[in-house]
Every structure is written in C-alpha cells, then in structure tokens.
Structure 1
C-alpha cells in the first residue's frame, strides 16, 4: 500500500533515504557518522517544510512496515525547500548559499527512491514510480525527473526501462549523475 508519510510514523524512512543517497546525506546533514546522519535525517523528515519533509515522501508498506519510499517535490520550490536545511547547517558552522543543482524548472523531481534490500526485485520501485507519475499529473506537471549516479548501472537500466531518458550530466557531492526526464 502506498500512502503519504505520516509525521508520527517515520520508522525506517531515514535508513531508506540514507541507503539511497549515500554521501549526499553527509552534505545535507553536515555529519559523517551514520548514527548522527540518521538522527539529522529524522529531524528533517519531521519538519513541515524542506526537501526531505514527510510531506514530500510517499511510503510503501507491507504489514504496517515501511519497506520502500519515493520522495518527490516541485522543482520550482527548491529554494524554499532547501532554506530550512541550510539554516540548520549554519548551527554546525557550515555556511552554504545553496546545494548543487539537481533539477530544472517545471519538473516534478524525484529526489529519492529506495526499497529495503529484503524487498527488492518484487516490483515495489515500479509501483512507486507509477504512483508518483500519477501524482505529478494531478499536480499539473508534464514531466518527472531524477538523477542517477554514473556508478549505478542497475538503477539506470531500471529508469530507462520505465521510460526515463538521459537529459544532461550534473555533478552533486563530487559524483557525476545523469539527469533523466520522463514526460507524463
């Protein structure tokens, strides 16, 4: 069952995000230790406004356990969504004006897709994509976009199978990513 994340039930969400974004989590949290990264991700997830807010997360549950998620938002809101995170980083003496560009205007940007290792290969990611594409249409978007790490050919193959096309290359946290688009 896919539904919007709830502020009072975020168990496993930070783990799923961290498992998908790896070193980008260090950049977003200003932390290097996994325990502190997960703690800061939990903090962000429970906030009302930021890119990692529960309001942008749709979870896949099996027997009341969150086993997958897709996190997506309006690309035109990136500045507003990143401000709370940038403000939090200042409390750790990390002063950034912005994060590296991950998307372009007028896209429903899929920031993160993650499925627990024990549940991979069961079509959960595909269902999450179908759900978010419908959500994007409902919100009036013509396209969805995402990034895929050059070093993740398995994900690239999945996204191409789902109809995403390479658009350009972006560098985020010192890694190259394919920016991919799908018209919906």
Structure 2
C-alpha cells in the first residue's frame, strides 16, 4: 500500500534516503559515519518546508512496515525547499561555501529519492513508487516528471527507460555524472 508519509516514518525513511543517495548522503553530512547521515535525514524528514520533508514523501507499506519511499516536489521550488537544508549544513556540518548545482528546474515535478529496503527489492515496489510519483505529478498539474540517475547505475537507467522516461541531457551534480531524465505526463503510466 502506498500512502503519504508522516513524521513517525522518519527512522526508516531516513535510512532509505541515505541508501538512495549513497555517497551524496555522506557529502551532505560531511561525515563518513552512516549514523551521522541517517540523523541528518531523520531531522529534515521530520521538519516541514524542505525538500526531504515528510510533506514531500510517499511510502510503501508491506504488512504494516515501511519498505520503500519516494521523495518528490515541484522543481520550481527547489531553491526555497533547499534553503533550510543548506543553512543547517553550513551551521551544523561545517560545509562552508557549499552550493550544490540545481538538480531540477521549473516546469518539472522532481522525483528526488526513490528507494526500497534491500530485502524487498526485485518485487516491483520501486516501479509502483515511480508510477505513484508520476501520478502525483500529473494530479498536481505538472506536464513533466523528472529525475537524475547516476550514469553508472545501469539497472536503474534500464528501469526508467522501460517506464517511459527519456534522457534529456547529462548533468554534473556534486562531482558525479548523471542523466537528467524526463517523463512526459501526456503518456499513460
């Protein structure tokens, strides 16, 4: 079952966000300690008005347990939603002069992090979450859903292409190389 997230989901969703981000989560936390990265995203998931908030998250529940999540928001609001996160990183994580490139833009609904618990992967949950993100996008009136995929993540790239996403361009983001992919909401999911 897919549902809107709530603050009580913070522990598992923070872990899912860190899993989805990989090295990026450690760069944000300015630490190689997974507990620091998880704590950072637990905090922001519990708060309102930021890109990692429960307000911008759907979760997949299986037998009462959250086993997957998708975090998404209006690309036009990226800088507004990112501001509290960056301010916190500067103040609490020692990331002075840290200004990541924009990973999204106005005119698209950005699917930021999509993750499924390792023991539940391969069961179609990720695909259902992506479909829910696309439907959420269309319901809000967006013509495009977008995401970034690491150029080295061939499995995810194949899945997104199979689901109807197209590579629009390539982008650098915090030192990594990514495909910026678009799903046109005029297409059936």
TM-score interval w.r.t. the shorter chain? over 0.9
| CA deviation after TM superposition for structure 1 residue 70, in Å | 0.7
Length, aligned pairs only: 184
Give the deviation of 1:123 after TM superposition. 1.0
What TM-score comes out, normalization by structure 1 length?
A: 0.95
Q: Distance in 2 between matches of 1:156 and 1:96?
A: 32
Q: Which range moves more in the overlay, 21-30 or 172-181?
A: 21-30
Residues in 2 aligned to 1:117 and 1:37: alpha-carbon distance in whole angstroms:
18
**Deviating more after overlay: 89-98 vs 71-80:** 89-98
Q: Is the 8 A contact 2:68 2:116 kept in 1?
A: yes
**Aligned-residue offset at 1:97:** 6.1
Shift of residue 100, structure 1, vs aligned partner: 1.4
Q: 1:142 to 1:31 in 2, by over 3 A?
A: same
CA distance in 2, matches of 1:176, 1:97: 18
In 1, the alpha carbon distance for the partners of 2:122 and 2:157 equals 15
Question: Partner residue of 2:40?
Answer: 40
1:170 match: secondary structure = strand
SS for the counterpart of 2:179 is strand
2:179 maps to what in 1? 178
* More helix, by proportion: 2
CA root-mean-square deviation: 1.2
Segments of 5+ residues of structure 2 without an aligned counterpart are none
5 Å-filtered alignment, 1:16-55, equals 16-55=16-55
Q: Deviations over 1:162-184 (max 9, x none)?
A: 00000111111211000000101
Greater displacement, 27-36 / 161-170: 27-36
Which 4+ residue blocks in structure 1 deviate beyond 4 angstroms? none
Change (3 A) 1:124 1:169: same
Residue in 2 that maps onto 1:64: 64
Q: Using the alignment, how far apart are the partners of 2:30 and 2:51 within structure 1? A: 16
Residue of structure 1 in register with 2:164 after alignment: 163
TM-score normalised by length of structure 2: 0.93
Residues 8-43 of structure 1: per-residue CA shift (max 9 Å, x gap): 232311111111111111233333211111111101
